[in-house]
Structure 1
Amino acid sequence: MSEAEAVTEENVASRLGFKDGDLVQEYGYDEDVDFDFREDLEDLIGGELLTEDDHEVVDGVILWWRADDGDLVDALVDSLTTLDDGGVVWVLTPKSGRDGYVPPADIEEAAPTAGLHVTTSPGVTADWAATRLVSRRKK
């Protein structure tokens, strides 16, 4: 791994905007998730990620999503159940060419139906891309 890759990987969890003390709920966990990323995120927030079964109000959601996982709108709506006002949903999808790849257009189409707005899409790891979703502002 090059020095630039190491720095990028080191800082990826903090680039998602989470901080120490945040409560983050994880959906879509499976054996293909990036365990190094999860560990970095847990180190950053100072605790374990909450599971789909937890009911605490959370500051953010991590949704691991693959092409064959079902209906993305339903998953996004479910992820909002415990999300605090102003919280963020990060949809993590396999990058292009990887098993389970989800085209960005699928997320852009599903987000408004779930009441969310796509804001940014940084790379997260070698295998996963992230898309940041926030609640659409009410007029």
Structure 2
Amino acid sequence: MSPTAAGGSTPTDALAGPASRLGLTKGMVVQELGWDSDSDDELRVAIEDTIDSDMVDGDYGNVVDVVLLWWRDEDGDLVDGLVDSLTDLVGGGVIWLLTPKVGRANSVDPADITEAAPIAGLALTTTAAVSKDWAATRLVTPKTPG
């Protein structure tokens, strides 16, 4: 990380850090799927502080701006997980796929993500450093004409 111009970071950046790298802002509705005891609680708190609300779960029943999908190699078919995560996602919304970093238990091979995304109807756009143990991959639905 490099320092920014005089005055540096905004208060939101100072508080949120990784959550702001995910493009999250106050008022967004973030759905969290795949949470388990190994999920990064510091990241979860930073996200909720940034959006100024609790994240919602899979039973929310309304559209969400962002889906935060915790996924481990042992969780099954990634394509199915990605397709399921689209259920409540608003058009133009983002899925952040959080996977254990390479070398950690249950890490997901990046090639598996690259292969699964288009099958699920998603495009892989970027990755972000968000946690010591978790990698984040940004997935979006490709824009359709009209």
TM-score (norm 2): 0.87
1:50 match:
56
Q: Spell out, residue by residue over 1:18-38, the C-alpha distance to the aligned partner (whole angstroms, 9 max, x if none).
A: 100000001100000000000
Query: What amino acid maps onto 1:55 in structure 2?
Result: G
Q: Which runs of 4+ in 1 moved over 2 A?
A: 7-10
> Quick check: 1:92–1:130 contact (8 Å CA) kept in 2?
yes
CA-CA distance at 1:122 after TM superposition: 1.6
Identity of aligned residues (%): 54
Task: After TM superposition, give the deviation of residue 10 of structure 1 in Å.
Answer: 4.4
Unaligned runs of 5+ in 2: 4-12
Once the two structures are superposed, the pairs formed by residues 101-116 of structure 1 within 5 Å of their partners are 101-116=107-122
1:26 alignment counterpart: 32
**In terms of Rg, which structure is larger?**
2
**Letter paired with 1:85:** G
- How many equivalent pairs are there? 134
Task: Tell me if the contact between 1:9 and 1:125 (Cα under 8 Å) persists in the aligned partners.
Answer: no
Determine if the alignment matches structure 1 residue 128 to structure 2 residue 128.
Answer: no
Residues in 1 aligned to 2:21 and 2:27: alpha-carbon distance in whole angstroms:
16
Unaligned 5+ residue runs, structure 1? none
The residue number in structure 2 matching 1:79 is 85
Structure 2 contact 21–130 (Cα < 8 Å) conserved = no
Contact 1:122 1:129 in 2 (8 A): yes
Relative to structure 1, is the Cα distance of residues 9 and 129 closer, same or farther in structure 2, using a 3 angstrom cutoff? farther
RMSD over equivalenced CA pairs, Å: 1.6
Contact 1:68/1:100 (<8 A) preserved? yes
